[in-house]
Chains A and B, each alone.
Chain A
Amino acid sequence: MTTTTLAVLVPLLPFLGALTGLLLGRTAPGFVRPLAVLPTLASLVLAAVVAARQGGDAAVDAATELTPTGSVPIELALHIDGFAALTAVLVGAVATCVQIYSTGYLRDDPRYPSYAALVSLFTSAMLLVVYSGDLMVLLVGWEIMGICSYFLVGHYWETPEARAASLKAFLVTKLGDVPFLIGLFALATDAGSFRITRILGAVANGGIEHPTLIALLLLAGVAGKSAQFPLHTWLPDAMAGPTPVSALIHAATMVAAGVYFIARLLPLFEASQAAMVVLAVMAAVTMTGSALAALAQDDIKRVLAYSTIGQLGYMTGALAVADRGAAVFHLLSHGAFKALLFLAAGVIIHAAGTNSLAAMSRMSNLRGRVPDAYWTMTVALLALAAIPPFSGFFSKEAVLGVAEHVVTGHTAHAPAAAGWIVLLAGLLTALLTAAYAMRLWLLAFHGHGTEAPDHGRQPLTMTVVLWVLAVPSLALGGFAFRALPGWFDGHDLTPTLTTSVLGTGVALVGGIVTYGAWRHTTAHAARIPLGAVAAHPEGDAGQVEAEAIASHEPAYGDIAYAPDPSDPGRLLLGPLHRHAAAGFHLDAVYSALFVRPVRAGASLVRFLDREVVETYVRGAGTLPRWLGAAVRRAQTGNLQTYVSALLAGTVVLAVAAVLVATGA
């Protein structure tokens, strides 16, 4: 088969798997698991073959136009360069891991068939986004991901948190998608095509008339999808979904789509200095803010969610300094270790029976219960904190190195301001990232107190996946940074000495300071009992997690916060802790700025409708009703009355006819 055929099959197979899964889910439950895992696995293999054949050489382009669609043609187009090939491999790998993990995680879930089908559809949509060479086709995948995330985040729809979170995820991403769509139209109008290759050609020839406007419009959609400030608020709440879904969304699919989209169209963004600065500011605010918030979260998954937002900030930061190689490199390594983090967190939640770090810090021997999760999570957290030689170190150093490169005067592609912003924010975030990674590790695995509850052995499908993912988390960066430039734009991704020393130094400082704070505060832990544990030795992990999510707010008073004085984050952040736990009150700001005015407007409209419009309607109805009442009174049931009226009418008519006939 040609590379094109293989590439077409890559998104198609999970899509067909999703279709058959939805159709057969009820009638043939035995086929659901194979139908979920095998197409995804096959598309992973095919994506690997496509990547091997493409090999970082010239991009594979293929297009077919199904039907004429007006002024700007829409084509089914493939555009596979090194970025697309490698991202597709990542998507396939993470999706396969998630599918395998889900078979154990949602073992007893009655809605597993639809869940697995939606995950397959989600994967297929992301692969479509990755391979598509036509922006309209890309948009189709983009929107399918939106709706799939809505369904998957709301998987535990019995809990109000999940319902609210799924709606929020859908609406916030849609809020970004509207300007995104307008931006796409404006771009296609300027370039005369939706094909990425032609658009890039038009950019190179200076054929785009409003690059800043278009770039900013597209940026809104990217911010929504990739959870960048100020549209990131849906991502922490999306933790109300099952853990494998979080892994899928955070590691490979949804949030990666935005970064990947900018990477594809980077020359367009480079054409506008303003857009690059906006991108840099956005990245800086996102990464520092989210790192601070992560340090204050109590829910283990929310910590990871904020860390995802921060790492995405690194990627957009790399794009802001015009190096998509570094961005996609970080995307790949982050995909591996973030998927591992989430899947390990799922195991921990299952074993501990709670998602609260405060409760975990009051359990001893949790690491003994789940040794696989303990070791793999340690690897992943080291990668997250960018400690050499884990993969996160290389990709993050690539980003910082590029920023430093720009700062030192190589401003051909990006403004120096963007470089400074990204470099400083990146270093600050490296410090904070190490701090919250350390805090997570200490609180989760080094608690004191009662023995952790026994949930039995974790299913093999769940633990094996963790080790599979631990390999790239450990080694991908070190092996890839030399090979990847050949696949990408050719920029050097080797860590530079200055940034390596600086970055690793601040990371170590963050880790050590957190350790010190923990040593100081952990003495209080035993004195203040805290926590609620959902114990279902028989139930599957999904059930435990759903209960943990549902009980967090009643038990601790807030979905993200626990009144735990032994938390080292509280000591480190000081007065900032309260605000950071609430995500710097951005939700409250949105509520004040948008929700309340809309509600007020709605109640005004409701008032107008009820009291004003309906009054007219009622008034219009009154006259016929009176007439009807009068006519009804005439229905006496007495035949003589009817005949009297009939004959009176006849007489009147006859007289009238006679008068008319005689001309009187």
Chain B
Amino acid sequence: MHLAYPAVLSALLFCTGLYGVLARRNAILVLMSVELMLNAVNLNLVAFDVWLSRTAEETLHSGQALTLFTIAIAAAEIGIGLAIVLAVYRNRGTSDIDKLRDTVEGHEPDGDASDSDASATRATAEKAEATA
């Protein structure tokens, strides 16, 4: 098999994931896109490992080992990422990335207002959660 096939597929998947990271509004969808990018890298690693193990008689299988590591790290990352998203959601009442703009330039006076808004929504959210 031509190495170009998996390599090109990997590149396309990576860029798809890239688009998702840049364009999606919901934080969980962004995490999904990150998974896509990681998988694109994994595909690259596997393909090159297979190629090298045949042509260069390489027995270390570093590509496959790294793939396994990447999968494990991706799992950890998704766990942590979701925990962060949940914490943000609880605090802010939203998981939309483009609403998390506390670092915007000229953010002094409306910061308090939005904070109080957020705490109000958080209070209602918690109440809803408790009743549910």
Contact = CB atoms under 8 A, between A and B. Distances in A.
Interface of A: 632-633, 635-640, 643-644, 647
B102 A637 contact: yes
B93 to A, nearest CB: 17
B23 interface: yes
A636 B104 CA distance: 5
Contact of B104 (A637, A643, A644): A637
13 contacts: A632-B106, A635-B103, A635-B104, A636-B101, A637-B101, A637-B103, A638-B97, A638-B101, A640-B21, A640-B22, A640-B23, A643-B21, A647-B18
A643 B24 CA distance: 13
A638 B22 contact: no
Nearest to B106: A632
Contacts of B106: 632
Contact of B97 (A633, A640, A644): A640
Interface of B: 18, 21-23, 97-98, 100-107
A514 to B, nearest CB: 80
Nearest to A642: B103
A633 B104 CA distance: 9
B132 to A, nearest CB: 31
A635 B18 contact: no
Given A632-B105, A647-B22, 19 more contacts: A632-B106, A633-B105, A635-B103, A636-B104, A637-B101, A637-B102, A637-B103, A637-B104, A637-B105, A637-B107, A638-B97, A638-B98, A638-B101, A639-B97, A640-B21, A640-B22, A640-B97, A640-B98, A644-B22
B75 to A, nearest CB: 23
Contacts of B18: 647
A464 to B, nearest CB: 74
Given A638-B97, A638-B98, A643 B22 contact: yes
Contacts of A636: 101, 104
Nearest to B102: A637
A635 to B, nearest CB: 4
Most A-side CB within 10 Å, residue of B104, B105, B106: B105
A640 B104 CA distance: 13
* In the A-B complex, the 5 residue pairs with the closest CB atoms: A637-B104, A637-B101, A635-B105, A632-B105, A637-B103
A627 to B, nearest CB: 14
**Main SS at interface, chain A:** helix
B52 to A, nearest CB: 22
Contacts of B103: 635, 637
Contacts of B98: 638, 640
Most chain B Cβ neighbours within 10 Å, of A633, A637, A638, A644: A637
Contacts of A640: 21-23, 97-98
A640 to B, nearest CB: 5
A9 B26 CA distance: 92
A638 B100 CA distance: 7
B104 A639 contact: no
A557 B103 CA distance: 67
Nearest to A639: B97
B20 to A, nearest CB: 11
Contacts of B102: 637
A647 B98 CA distance: 18
B37 to A, nearest CB: 11
Nearest to B98: A638
B27 to A, nearest CB: 10
A234 B9 CA distance: 97
A274 to B, nearest CB: 76
Contacts of A635: 103-105
A638 B24 CA distance: 12
Nearest to B24: A640
A454 B92 CA distance: 85
Contacts of B21: 640, 643
Contacts of A637: 100-105, 107
Contacts of A643: 21-22
B47 to A, nearest CB: 21
Contacts of B101: 636-638
A388 to B, nearest CB: 89
A637 B105 CA distance: 7
Nearest to A648: B22
Nearest to A634: B105
B103 to A, nearest CB: 5
A647 B105 CA distance: 22
A185 B53 CA distance: 96
A643 B106 CA distance: 21
A637 B104 CA distance: 4
Contacts of A633: 105
Contacts of B22: 640, 643-644, 647
B67 to A, nearest CB: 24
Nearest to B25: A640
A548 to B, nearest CB: 59
Contacts of A639: 97, 100
A636 B100 CA distance: 10
Nearest to B30: A640
Contacts of A638: 97-98, 101, 104
B63 to A, nearest CB: 22
A640 B98 CA distance: 7
A628 to B, nearest CB: 10
A416 B18 CA distance: 109
Nearest to B21: A643
B71 to A, nearest CB: 24
A632 B97 CA distance: 20
A637 B101 CA distance: 4
A640 B18 CA distance: 11
Contacts of A632: 105-106
B21 to A, nearest CB: 7
B111 to A, nearest CB: 11
Nearest to B105: A635
Contacts of B104: 635-638
Nearest to A633: B105
A589 to B, nearest CB: 60
